[in-house]
Every structure is written in C-alpha cells, then in structure tokens.
Chain A
Amino acid sequence: MLSNTRGLGDIPISERARFLASSRKRRPGVRARRVAVAAAALLAAALVLAPAAAFAAPSSSSGGYPPNTFPATAPSTTITWWTFTANAKSQVAAFNKVYPNIHVDTPLVGSDYTKLTTVVKGGSGGPDVAEIEYEYLPKFIATGGILDISKYVDKYKNLFYPWTWTQVSQGSAVYGVPQDVGPTALTYQPAVFAKDGLTVPKTWAEFAADARVIHDKNPKQYITYVPLNDGAWWTMLYWQAGAVMFKNTSQGWQVDLNSSVVKKVTDYWAGLIKDGLVDPTQDWTPSWENSVGQGTYAAMAGATWTPDYMVHPFSNAATANAWRMTDFPQWSTGDPVGANVGGASNVVLKQSKHPAAAALFAAWIDGSQQGVTTRITSVDKGGQGMTAAASNSDLLPAFSAPSSALGGQDPSPVISKAAASVNPNYQWSPWSDYVFNEMTIEFTKAANGNETWNQALDNLQHNVSVFGASMGYTMAPAPSGQSSGSAESAPSPALWVVIGLAVLAIAAFIYRRRLTAES
C-alpha cells in the first residue's frame, strides 16, 4: 500500500484515496470504510494536531452505561496491537489512562492480511492483539493461530450485541472481542423521491415499484446500482433475507449458495437489471464514484457507514447535503430484519506471551465506556468514527451527534434500530475471499447475459464446494431438495487448452516436416 502512495504528491486527494484503497480491493465489505479511514487519518495527522486530549477523559454523564466491571489495575507488561483503524493511538491513550503500566505498541502494518497470514503460519513474529474483520475470522481460526479467550472475556459478553458475539464464537470458544459493526441502512436523497411523488420505500416491493417510476420519469436517474464486483454487498442482502449460506455441521462444512432464499434475492435484483431500472456497475471505481457524486442514484443499499464513506467523499456541492439515512427496506412487514456488512473484531494470537493483558486490552477498548466513546467519536474529533459493537453505545452522548455527511441529520435512532435488528443466524465460511471473487465472476457473466442467474448460483455452489474440498475441509452434502450445483454442462476449458496445445504441436510438426523436405 505504501509503495503505491509514494510519489503521488501532485495527485488530487480523491485519486490518492483510490490508490490507498488498492490493497483492500478484495475485501469489499469494509474497504470503503478503510479507504476513508486511511484518507481521514492522513487528514487528521496533517490538520488535527492534538486530538487525543480533547475527548479521552471519561464522560461525566454516564447516562446509564453498564457499571464498569473491568479490573482496576493490571500487571506491567508490553503488548503489540495490529490495527487498521483511524486514530488508534487515541484508543491506546484512553486505555493507558486506566492502565498506565500496560504499554501498547501500534506499529504501522497497513491493512493487508498477508503479513498476518505469514506470521500465523510461521508461528512467531506476530502481535498480541490483531484486528480482523468478521468475514475473515473463520479463515484465521481454521489455521489454528487464534487463542480461545473465553476464560478472559466471557464476563463481558453482555456488553455487546448478541449477534456480534456469535460472529466471534464457535461453540463455547470465543476467538475475539467484537469491535465495530455495519448494520444495514438505506441512504437516500429525499428530494429525488419527493420530486416523483414517492415516499421512501419501506419494503423491497415498494423499492422495485419506485425504481420504475424514478427511471421512467428521468432516464438518467436510477433508484440504485448493483455492484457486480462486490460479494459483501450480495452477502448483506442474502443475510437479511435469512439465507445461511455456510454452516459448520458435524458432517463438515455445508455450502448452500443456490438455496431458494438466495435465488429469491438474486432474481429480484436480476429482474431490476433486466428491466434496466438499476445500474449494474462495479463499486469503488472512478465511473461509479462519478455517478454517486452526481446523484445518479436515488438511494444506496448499504450500512450505517455508507454516508460517511461511500457518499460524502464523492459528493459535489449540489449533492453534498442531499442525503439522509433511513431504515433498510424489508421483505415482509413485521419486525424489521437487517444484516451486517463490514466491521471487525480484536483477537489474541496463540503466540502472544501476555494473553491476559492482551484479552483485557481487547475487551476494554471494545466494551468499556471510555473505549466505546473513543470508538464512536468522529474521526475529525480525534475518535475512530465507527458504529460500535457495544450494545449500550447508544446511551453515550457521542452517539447522537449530527452527521455532516447527512446534512446535519442525527442518524442515531436509525443506527440503534439497525444494529438491534441484525439477523443473528449468519455464519461466515473460511473462504470469504474466494466466495466474493467467484461472485464477481459469475454475476458479471450473468449480467452480461452469458449465463442465467440461476446458472451463476449453481456454478457458485459447485465452485465453492470444490474449493472448500481443495483447501482440505470436509464438505457436507448440500441440503436436500436442491441441486448439487454441478451445473457445468459445457466441457471444462481445460479441454480447450489441451486441444489448443495439440493443434499447435501438429502445426509445429508439419512445419518441421516441410522445412526438412525443402532442404
């Protein structure tokens, strides 16, 4: 990442942010946040010279936050924390106010997991505490490098949303402390809906109807886009609809990527694409950023961090104040159901020599009142600007601050509701990178008409199952009543490569014969 940024001093900041984003292109869920966090960190470093002191003092009005159950003191030691959050030093400063004798190093390691993978595989050289996103946690747990810290942190479980605890647990083992979340929310432009006489859609059915009205009245306007390259976006929608695409059963990993629920959601968006009512595109590309900035999309189906990281950075003067946040559209009326996209946990590595101090640090920064305050305070005020995984974070004053990305709207009621309504059953596989990549390939083919969307899902099911087995996992059969997914009717392209080589070989031999014959 750093090598890319070197020598870019003359490039506009937005362009630089894109290069900063380079290394995380394959982790779509949160790269947004981190692009902006990286950019914001640069700004913060340059503009805000003394951020930590401004807010680190514990808030005097605790406002009903659960009483502090963390130990009053801890033995002296030094630990290392690998994180890619903005203003990580503020978090350490807050921690050291309470535990001055635990020294925390935060080396600049960037956001790439390659280094973490390497040190976990090598068995040494790693940090005590590492920040890992939820979708990649199973991969690291599977390598056997993450410590079960249940004996240190089980007592803090009640501080967090229950579904976040599910994300970091496997059975009775707890592999990390939830740090932040990205519950689903709809970011939209009220004026665009009002202009066409529409109210903001509450259900996906209304959303589809509005999509037609908006596009019919102004062919250059779309209700939203479909990022064909963003597996995290699709996963968010499947998750909300109740799909559990991966399950670690007693028979092994069960993959269920072509279930009826997944098909329902896919068909919904495929229909909108087919009718030309949404813009099939690739997010985090210049053309997409341009469309967002010009207000081409009336709404963005995303997370609570969408306004700050996917809209605001690309807005122009005309659209900067056009956006507000509201509840995510639903499949049925009744209790709202949401999903999560993005967010990370802090884990303790098995190779840590100070697991107790490391676990205390992870639990304190993610669960204590001071730690959570730092977490949710905006980046330009020296905080970390995230939605905390701590369920009582909405009781803190910093939570209900007007957002400059939302024209001054206080989004806290939407965020509270969204975080509380996340469907708790979702489980990530240890191959999230692979699944996201395959989704990009198959969905791009489907959107271009090279295969049907059902074929895309069947291919996904097939490829992911094969990949899981190739990674050495025991694969359980797919749930009954569904096709096994071996939908590859055409011969493997390997055959074409072999045929091509054979043709070349024959041509070479014929050429050779002619040469010999000539002379």
Chain B
Amino acid sequence: MSTSSAVPASLVRRRIARIPLGLLIPFAVVFVLFFLGPFLYALWLSFFVESGDKSVFVGLQNYVVAWQDTEFWTSFLRVAWYGVTAVVVMLVFGLGLSLLLDSPFARTKTLFRLVYFLPYAVPGVIAALMWGFLYSPQLNHLIGALSAFNGGHAVNLLSSGTLLYAIVNMAAWGGTGYTMTIYFASLTSIPVELYEAARLDGASEWQIARMIKIPMIRSTILMTVVLSLIGSLQLFNEPYVLKSITDVPWNYTPNLEIFNMAFTYGNFTYSATLSILLAVTTFILSLLFMLVTSETRTRRSKAPVVEAAAARPTTDHQGARPIQIGVDA
C-alpha cells in the first residue's frame, strides 16, 4: 500500500489535522483540571445533603431551597447595583483621563499613564486593607475632621448605608487606571487622518473627542462595561477584608455567601449548589457578551453572500481589535 518514501495524502492530512488538537492539549488539561472538573464535582455535590457523617441523595431539593433563598438572590441584586455604580465611575474617569492623555496638550504621557495604572497593580487584598485604614476616623484625620459636619459624631464610612459605596470607591480607584489604559490603547489606533480632516473642517479638540474619538472606541467601551459588570458578580476580596473592621453580613455578595456556607456553616453541598447557580449566571452573561461583541463578519463568512463582508465599511473593523486587547489584558 505505502512505501517508505510516499506517505498517502490522506494520512498527511490526518496528521496535519492532529496538530491543532495537540496544541489544544495544554489548555484542555488545565481547563478540565481547574474548571470543568471542579464544576462537575460541585454539580454532583449539589444533589446531596450531608447529615452528620452520611450523604443523602436529594435530587434537586437544594435548588428548590436555593430558589427561596431570599438573601442569596438579594446579594445578586446588590452586586449588580455595585457593578453599575462602579462601572459608571470607572467609565467616566477612565475615559476622561484617556482623552486628556490623548489630547495634543498632554505632556509626559508615559509617566502619567504609569501613575494612573499603578493602583491596578496593587493586589485587591492589600488595597482593601489600606482603604480600611483610610476610612478609619482614628487613623485618617481627614475623615476625623468630617465629624464637624456630623454633629460631632464620628463619620463612619463603613456603616451599612455607605459600605457599598466605600467598596465602589476601592474598585474605582483600582479599575480606573485599567480602563484608561484600554481606552488609551484604543484611541492611539484611530487613524490620524480623521483628526486632520476634522481640524481642516474647523473642529475644536472637544468636538474631535466627542464626534470622533468616543464613537470610534464605542465597542471598546462596551466591552469594558460588560466585562466589569460580569466581574462584579465575583466580588469577594474587599468585603471579606472589610469584615475585620466593620460589620459585613456573610451574605453580602454571592461569593462571600458561598465561602461562608462551606467554611463557617459547614454546609458543603448547599455551598456547591449556590456555586453552580453563580457559575450558570456568569456563563449566561458571558454568552450575551460574546453575542454583543463578537465579530459579525465571522458569522457572515459562512453565509452565502460573501460580498457583504467585503463591502463592510472599514470603521466596523473596530469591533475586532478591542477583543484582542481584552484577551491580552
């Protein structure tokens, strides 16, 4: 059939076809080991209830209980609100700083990019501890001085009414530099000809920012917004660290509740149930994110009318680049 010199074309094709599979293995191993495996194990656990030292199969009972778990779902709404407020702050400041850096008036851009980005490099736990001290009226005399406006009572920024916004502040402090960096990278890739044309038409810098820059990076903005919203579901570090200096209920965020359910209450199976629910919610949100931001061309290239893709205006290709940035980040 085959000689030593002539390998059948079909075999070659099969070998070549195996190469991508081989390249996938490192990812697949890690994915299965640290994501799929734990997920399936948690799914398995969620069908049981542990009573004393024995496990009883209860089917979907844990999920019925979870549906009625008012506080768990309230924590979802809480982190959603947290996400919205944090995203707005990060968006406004991140966009503002990146536009300033991108404007022709900016000096020592590299230095300021680094300075603005630095807070993101501080680990979340350290940042939370640091802010915890900064919020203390005894340690931070600025906060201490605020008591003058509060009838002489110490201002407690970590009381239940303002706690969420104290955490939003921490997140915004860390996240603004990050979004700014993404926006700035996106801004630098806008063709300079557009600005020149605008200036010839008599546009001011503010008009250029509003009419050209922001619309051009719209899909980047959308991506950071959606990613931040999804990320806010995972809120854990800040409230966990703040528990040491103020009263944060254990079910303040979904992740805090899941952690607590397993390691304080010792209810591992119900904790697994809640984890599955959080994972499914995050998965749905991520799917929607992909739907909104993924390249429309990819889908249409399979469609019969190929010309449509070629005919697309170049500005639409903006959609592809930000995702690259997102992956790199």
Contact = CB atoms under 8 A, between A and B. Distances in A.
Interface of A: 4, 11-12, 14-15, 18-19, 21-23, 25-26, 113-114, 117, 121, 139, 142-144, 229, 282, 284-287, 290, 431, 433-434, 437-438, 440-441, 444, 459, 463, 466, 469-473, 488, 492-494, 496-497, 500-501, 504-505, 508-509, 511-512, 515-516, 518-519
Contact of B245 (A22, A431, A469, A472): A22
A196 B312 CA distance: 84
Contact of B288 (A18, A139, A287, A504): A504
A470 B245 contact: no
Contacts of A23: 244
A290 B154 contact: yes
A470 B49 contact: yes
Nearest to B288: A508
A504 B65 CA distance: 26
A282 B73 contact: no
B302 interface: no
A252 B255 CA distance: 31
B308 A519 contact: yes
Contacts of A511: 292
Contact of B73 (A21, A287, A496): A496
B80 interface: yes
B247 A441 contact: no
- What is the interface of chain A mostly: helix, strand, loop, or mixed? helix
Contact of A493 (B49, B70, B308, B312): B70
Contact of B249 (A15, A440, A466): A440
Given A440-B247, A497-B73, A471 B267 contact: yes
B76 interface: yes
Contact of B70 (A284, A492, A501): A492
25 contacts: A18-B244, A23-B244, A114-B263, A121-B266, A139-B266, A142-B52, A143-B266, A282-B159, A285-B156, A285-B159, A285-B247, A431-B265, A437-B250, A470-B49, A470-B270, A472-B49, A472-B52, A493-B76, A494-B69, A496-B73, A497-B73, A497-B77, A501-B284, A504-B285, A519-B300
A493 B154 contact: no
Among B70, B129, B156, B243, chain A packs the most CB atoms within 10 A around the CB of: B70
Nearest to A442: B71
A433 B265 contact: yes
Interface string B129-160: 10001001111000000000000011010111
Given A470-B270, A471-B265, A508-B292, A501 B245 contact: no
B102 interface: no
A140 B77 CA distance: 34
Interface in B233-272: 243-247, 249-251, 263-267, 270
Interface of B: 49-53, 56, 62, 65-71, 73-74, 76-77, 80, 129, 133, 136-139, 153-154, 156, 158-160, 243-247, 249-251, 263-267, 270, 281, 284-285, 288, 291-292, 296, 300, 308, 312-313, 316
B77 A143 contact: no
A117 B267 CA distance: 11
Given A282-B160, A437-B250, A470 B62 contact: yes
Nearest to B294: A512
Contacts of B70: 459, 463, 488, 492-493
A198 B154 CA distance: 29
A440 B53 CA distance: 30
A501 B77 CA distance: 11
Nearest to A512: B291
Nearest to A469: B65
A155 to B, nearest CB: 29
Given A19-B244, A508-B292, A433 B264 contact: yes
B250 A26 contact: yes
Nearest to B316: A519
B310 to A, nearest CB: 11
Contacts of B316: 518-519
Nearest to B280: A501
B68 A466 contact: yes
B71 A25 contact: no
B49 to A, nearest CB: 4
A27 to B, nearest CB: 10
Contacts of A508: 288, 291-292
Contacts of B49: 470-472
A286 B284 contact: no
Given A144-B53, A434-B265, A473-B51, 11 more contacts: A18-B244, A114-B263, A117-B266, A433-B264, A459-B70, A466-B68, A470-B49, A492-B68, A493-B74, A493-B77, A501-B281
Contacts of A431: 265
Nearest to B125: A3
Contacts of B69: 466, 492, 494
A505 B288 contact: yes
A516 B77 CA distance: 32
A232 to B, nearest CB: 13
Nearest to B246: A285
A284 B250 CA distance: 16
B156 A287 contact: yes
B302 to A, nearest CB: 13
Nearest to B242: A22
A11 B51 CA distance: 45
B206 to A, nearest CB: 27
B265 to A, nearest CB: 6
B268 to A, nearest CB: 9
Given A282-B160, A470-B49, A519-B316, A15 B139 contact: yes
A435 B264 CA distance: 12
Contacts of B71: 438, 441, 463
Contact of B312 (A4, A139, A496, A519): A519
A15 B263 contact: no
Given A286-B136, A444-B160, A500 B80 contact: yes
Contacts of B74: 493
Contacts of B66: 494
A114 B264 contact: yes
Contacts of A463: 70-71
Contact of A441 (B251, B291, B312): B251
A286 B251 contact: no
Nearest to A296: B153
Contact of B247 (A4, A282, A433): A282
B245 A18 contact: yes
Contacts of B308: 519
B73 A437 contact: no
Contacts of B250: 26, 433, 437
Contacts of A493: 70, 73-74, 76-77
Contacts of B67: 492, 494
Closest 3 pairs between A and B when the two form their complex, measured CB to CB:
A22-B244, A472-B51, A493-B73
A433 B139 CA distance: 31
Contact of B76 (A14, A469, A497): A497
A434 B246 CA distance: 18
A123 to B, nearest CB: 9
Among B129, B159, B244, B281, chain A packs the most CB atoms within 10 A around the CB of: B244
A509 B290 CA distance: 11
Contact of B296 (A470, A472, A516): A516
Contact of A19 (B50, B245, B270, B296): B245
A509 B297 CA distance: 16
A20 to B, nearest CB: 9
B104 to A, nearest CB: 32
